[in-house]
Amino acid sequence: MKNYTQVYVQNSLEAVEHYCDAFGAEVTFEIKNPAQDAYEHCELSVKGEPFLAAAETPAPYDVGLIHREKWQVMTFNAFEMGSEEAVRHAFQVLSQGGVVIAPIGELPWSTCCATVIDRYGVCWWLSI
């Protein structure tokens, strides 16, 4: 069995570029809407392995409220990222316009990790 996660976000074209930058991902499959201004479905891979799917949300939501209340309805765990540098880069990119829940630090189970809600309202736990 495999588990492949998908996010539904506003500004999906921009979000996909953002996630590609944060994680060194590439788009491996995409279907855009008829106007070509949003993804109906987009798949991202890292080093040839499926990582994340994304699509435009069917209904708008208030990212500002998510940031103010620091809502964590679901957290995506990006772990075994390979290096502290990779964690720091992803954290730096995802923090732009987002809200830091836990800055980069150490926990008993990880020497380098952090939690951030990105500018699209998606919560990420990042770890080496």
What is the tens place of the pLDDT at every residue in 56-77? 999 999 999 999 999 887 889 9
Q: pTM for the whole thing?
A: 0.86
Confidence at residue 24, expressed as pLDDT on a 0 to 100 scale: 97
Long-range contacts of 18-21 (CB under 8 A, 24+ apart): 18/93, 18/94, 18/118, 18/119, 18/120, 19/44, 19/52, 19/54, 20/44, 21/93
